[in-house]
Amino acid sequence: MTETLIRIENLKMHFPIYKGTLRRKEVSRVKAVDGLSFDILKGETLGLVGESGCGKSTTGRAIIQLHRPTEGRVLFGGQDLCTLSEKQLHPLRRNLQMIFQDPYGSLNPRMTVGNIIGEPLKVHNLAEGQGIAKRVQELMEIVGLDPRFIRRYPHEFSGGQRQRIGIARALACEPSFIVCDEPISALDVSIQAQIINLMEDLQKEFGLTYLFIAHDLAAVRHISDRIAVMYLGRLAELADGKDIYENPLHPYTKALISAVPIPDPEIELKRERIVLTGDVPSPLNPPSGCVFHTRCPFAEERCKREVPAIKQAAPGHFVACHLVEGQVVDAAVVDQLEKRTMGDKPVDRDQAVASAAVNQTVNETKEEAVV
Amino acid sequence: MSSEPIKDSTVSTTKLAAENVLEVRGLKTYFHVEGAVVRAVDDVSFTVKRGECLGVVGESGSGKSVSQISVLGLIPTPPGKIEGGEVLFGGQDLLKASNKELRKIRGNRISMIWQDPMSSLNPFLRVSRQLIEPLRIHQNMSKEAAREAAIEMLEKVGIPGPRERIDQYPHQFSGGMRQRVMIAMALLCKPELLIADEPTTALDVTIQAQILELIKDLREDMGTSVVLITHDLGVVAGMADRVIVMYAGRVMEEALAEDLFRRPGHPYTVGLLRSVPRLDLGASARLIPIDGRPPDVSKPIPGCPFAPRCRWAQDRCHKEAVPVVELGPGHSVRCFRANEVYAAELGSRVTSEQFAKAEANLAGAALADGYVSVAESVEEKEMP
C-alpha cells in the first residue's frame, strides 16, 4: 500500500479565454486546477471530493493526459507523462483507464457491446479474431453481465448495466490505474450500491488503483482509503478517510461534512451544521490569498493576503489553512508520507503518531534549550 | 436498540391530529404510449396535514413526481390521463375542477418548486417581471405594490441586494440563487401548500444545506405545508415529519419519519436504508444492494411490484394483491410480511451482523413457505 504509483507535482491546468476574431488575444484564464501536488499509492482508492467547478474532474483528466496540463509533472513508472508525445504515450495508456459519469453519453450507440468492450484490445493489439470475443465474454462475466448479450446495443441495457459495460471496457487491457469520474451519480440509489460493490470486488481481484472522483462525500468515504478535498482548483485537505470525517481540520471540509445529510432523523436533529454563506467564486478570478476566505466563517486578515502553505498536522494528514497548526511541508506533499512509511513495510499507525509526538517534544526541548 | 420501545410521544400524536390540507385518494395516472399503458401512478392515497412536511421518497420512475404533478393538473394530456381517484384540497376535488378554477389555485394556494431552476424560469424575462406576474394575477396588486412585495420576498429568501438584482435575467444568477428566486416566486402568494420536486438535486451540498435551511425557516415562518419529493433519504431524515415511500407507482410504506428510519415495515425501505453509503459509518459496513432493477410498469403487475427483487418474497407476493397492514399510529405498509419485517427492527441503526441474522431468519421462513429465489425470478442477470 505504500508504494507510490503516480506522483503529481504542482499540476496546473489553465484554460485560456480568447477575444477578438482576427487578432485573437488571450484575455484571461480559467484556473481550473492551480498547483496540486499529491501521490496516489499503489492499490489504494484515493477519493477526490469538491463541489462542481472545483476542478476535480479536470484533475482526473489531466493526470491521464486527456487534457495536457499547463504546468507541472505527472510521474508514472519513472516517466513524466506531461513531456511525452501522443505517440510515446500510446503504449502507456493501456495502464491508465477511465470510467465515465454518464453511462449514456460514454457508450457509442452504434456499436455493439462486444465492439465497445473489445475496442481497447484492438487498439493495443492485445488480442485478435476469436481471442477478442473470448476475452470480451470473460470481461462481461467479470462485471456481472450475461455474455450472451455480446451482440446487443447499449440502448438495450439499463443505466446500471451500461455502467457495467463502461467498467468492462476500462478493465479490458488490464490497467493498473483507473480514474472513476462520478461513476455512480447518474444511477438510481438502489443500483449505486451494486456498482460500488462491484468496483470494490474488482479492486481486490485485480489489484487496481482508483482515483474516485465524486461530489457525494458519503459514497467517497465509503469506498476510499484516503480522501483529498479540493476547493477552487487547490487542495484543501488530504488525509485518511476516517481522519477526514472524525477530525476534519480545514473549515471547508468541516462545512462540507456538516452539510451532508445522514439518513437518521435523530442524528440529523442533534448535528451541528455549519452553513456556508454565498457561492463558490469563479475560477476565472479566484480570490486572493486563501481561495476559501470569502466564505470561511473563521477567516482572518492574513487569509486575504497570503496563500496558505500545505501543512502536515498529523502524520499523513495534510491541510492548507493558516489557522491550523502543523509542520509546513513543501509542495511535494507526500514526500513526508513516504518518509513515514519508508522501507516498504507498512508503519503502524499508532507508532507513527507516537513518533510524531516524540519529535514534537524533542523540538520543544530544543527550542527551550535555545531560549 | 431492541429494548427501546417506539416512542409514542405527544409530538407524534399532534403531528397526526392536525387537519388535512390535501387529501389524495386512489389516484391513478396512466400514460398511453405506443399502444402500451404505463401505470405511472397506480392507486395512490396520501394526505398532507397543515404545517407539516411530507417527504415523498422513491427512485426515478417510482411515480413520486407524477403523483404530485397530477395534484396540480399539470399532466400532459395526451399521452397522460388521470384514470381515477380524488384530490381533495379545501373541500374541492381538483380532478373535477375546470382549468379556470385550477389556474386560481396554482401559484396562489398551491405552488411548486421544480428541480431545475434554469429551465423553469423564463430566460428571456427579467426576474422582476416573473415575480410580479403572479401577484398581479392572483392578488390584484398594483405594479408598484407587487414590485415592493417581490423585493421583500427576495430579501426573505436571502438574495443580497434584491433591489438591484430584481431587474436581472435568470442567467445572471448562480444555481443556488436561481433556486432561491424559484422559492421566492413560489411563496409570493403565501400558499397553503408548497410542492418541492427534488429542489436540491441539481445543487452542491453546501448550497443544498442553505436551501433546505431556507425551506425549513420559511415553513416555520409562514406555516406552509410542504411536500418534499426526493430520492435522498438523508434529506428526508433532516426535513420531513412524515414520509411516504413509493415504488413502481404505488405507496409501499407510510410512516412518521422517526418510525420509518427506526423501524421500517417494508423490505424495500429496509433495502434503501441498507444500500446507501453513510458518511457516519464509513467503509466499515459493506453495502447491501437491492438486486435487479425496478419493474417495467407498462406491464400489469398482479402481486407486489417489489417481489422479484425482494429477499423476503414468498409465492403469494408474486400473484396476489398485497394488503395494507397497519403497524401503528400513522404507520401503514403494503406487504404480506410487514409484521415480521417490523418485528425484526431493521432500522437505520441496525448493524451488519444484526441485519444478516434477521435476514437469514426471514429467508429461512420464506423457504419453508414456498420461497422463490431472487436469482430465478430476475429475468436478466444483474449481479456477478
- pLDDT > 70? residue A73: yes
Do residues A102 and A76 touch, judged by C-beta distance below 8 A?
Answer: no
Whole-number Cα distances in Å, A20 to A14, A25, A30, A53, A242: 20, 7, 18, 26, 50
Which residue, among A132, A120, A70, has the nearest Cα to A95 in the 3D structure? A120
Contact B237 A241 (CB under 8 A): no
Contacts of B281 in chain A (CB under 8 A): 222
Complete DSSP assignment for B190-245: --SEEEEESTTTTS-HHHHHHHHHHHHHHHHHH--EEEEEES-HHHHHHH-SEEEE
Contacts of A158 in chain B (CB under 8 A): 293
| pLDDT for residue A356 | 41
Contacts of B241 in chain A (CB under 8 A): none
The answer, as to whether pTM is greater than 0.90, is: no
The position carrying cell 435476514 is B359
Residues 6+ apart with CB under 8 A from A84: A65, A92
Nearest-CA distance A267 → chain B (Å): 9
Considering only CB atoms, A242 lies closest to which of B233, B238, B282, namely B282
With vertex at residue A182, the alpha carbon angle to CA A176 and CA A188, rounded to the nearest 5 degrees, is 125
Which residue, among B224, A248, A183, B4, has the nearest Cα to A260 in the 3D structure? A248
Contact B383 A276 (CB under 8 A): no
For B203, counting Cβ atoms within 10 Å of its Cβ (0-12 exposed, 13-18 middle, 19+ buried), the class is buried
Residue B107 grid cell: 401559484
Q: Is B11 on the interface with A (CB under 8 A)?
A: no
Averaged over A342-358, what is the pLDDT?
40
The span from the CA of A189 to the CA of B274, in Å, is: 11
Contact B279 A192 (CB under 8 A): no
Nearest-CA distance B334 → chain A (Å): 19
Q: Look at chain B and count its residues.
A: 384
The span from the CA of B295 to the CA of A319, in Å, is: 47
Whole-number Cα distances in Å, B182 to A66, B154, B220: 38, 10, 19
B313: three-class secondary structure by DSSP: coil
Task: Give the residues across from A7 on adjacent strands.
Answer: A39, A75
Considering only CB atoms, A144 lies closest to which of B212, B283, B381, namely B381
Residue B108 grid cell: 396562489
Q: Is B42 on the interface with A (CB under 8 A)?
A: no
Q: Is B76 on the interface with A (CB under 8 A)?
A: no
Residue A317, CB-side half-sphere exposure with 13 Å CA sphere: 23
Whole-number Cα distances in Å, B328 to A163, B107, B237: 41, 36, 20
* Residues A32-45 pLDDT 10s: 898 899 999 999 99
**Which residues in chain B land under pLDDT 50?**
1-10, 366-384
Give the chain B residue nearest A202 (alpha carbons).
B384
- pLDDT > 50? residue A294: yes
Contacts of A146 in chain B (CB under 8 A): 380-381
Give, for A239, the enclosing helix (H) or strand (E). Answer: strand A234-240
The span from the CA of A34 to the CA of A37, in Å, is: 10
A29: three-class secondary structure by DSSP: strand
Whole-number Cα distances in Å, A16 to A26, A67, A120: 6, 13, 32
Q: Is B161 on the interface with A (CB under 8 A)?
A: no
Strands B225-230 and B193-197: what pairing?
A: parallel
Which residue, among A40, A51, A47, has the nearest Cα to A222 in the 3D structure? A47
A302: three-class secondary structure by DSSP: helix
A15: three-class secondary structure by DSSP: strand
Contact A218 B277 (CB under 8 A): yes
| pLDDT for residue A134 | 93
Q: Which long-range contacts (CB under 8 A, 24 or more apart) does B133-141 make?
A: B134/B107, B134/B108, B134/B185, B134/B188, B134/B189, B135/B188, B135/B189, B137/B107, B138/B104, B138/B107, B138/B108, B138/B189, B139/B108, B139/B189
Q: What values do phi and psi take at B202, rounded to 5?
A: -85, 0
Contact B205 A268 (CB under 8 A): no
Q: How confident is the model at residue A352 (pLDDT cuts 50, 70, 90)?
A: very low
| pLDDT for residue B381 | 40
| pLDDT for residue A350 | 41
- Residue-averaged pLDDT of chain A: 84
Give the chain B residue nearest A161 (alpha carbons).
B382
Give the chain A residue nearest B180 (alpha carbons).
A278
Nearest-CA distance A63 → chain B (Å): 24
Give, for B331, the enclosing helix (H) or strand (E). Answer: strand B331-334
The span from the CA of B261 to the CA of B284, in Å, is: 20
| pLDDT for residue A332 | 41
- Scan residues 274-333 of B and list those with Cβ closer than 8 Å to A: 274-283, 286-291, 293-294, 309
Q: Is B360 on the interface with A (CB under 8 A)?
A: no
Residues 6+ apart with CB under 8 A from A315: A336, A337, A340, A349, A352, A353, A356
Give the chain A residue nearest B206 (alpha carbons).
A259
Task: Give the residues across from B44 on adjacent strands.
Answer: B27
Residues 6+ apart with CB under 8 A from B107: B134, B137, B138, B186, B189, B191
Whole-number Cα distances in Å, A183 to A187, A219, A220, A348: 8, 11, 11, 33
* Residues A169-204 pLDDT 10s: 999 999 999 999 999 888 888 888 889 999 999 999
Considering only CB atoms, B280 lies closest to which of A141, A224, A262, namely A262
Averaged over A342-354, what is the pLDDT?
40
Residues 6+ apart with CB under 8 A from A280: A51, A52, A53, A54, A231, A232, A295, B204
For A217, counting Cβ atoms within 10 Å of its Cβ (0-12 exposed, 13-18 middle, 19+ buried), the class is buried
Do residues B154 and B181 touch, judged by C-beta distance below 8 A?
Answer: yes
| pLDDT for residue B277 | 85
CB pairs under 8 A between A and B: 162
* Residues B351-368 pLDDT 10s: 777 777 777 777 665 444
Q: Quick one: residue B314, left, alpha or beta (phi over 0 = left, psi -120 to 50 = alpha)?
A: beta
- pLDDT > 90? residue A285: no
Nearest-CA distance B105 → chain A (Å): 33
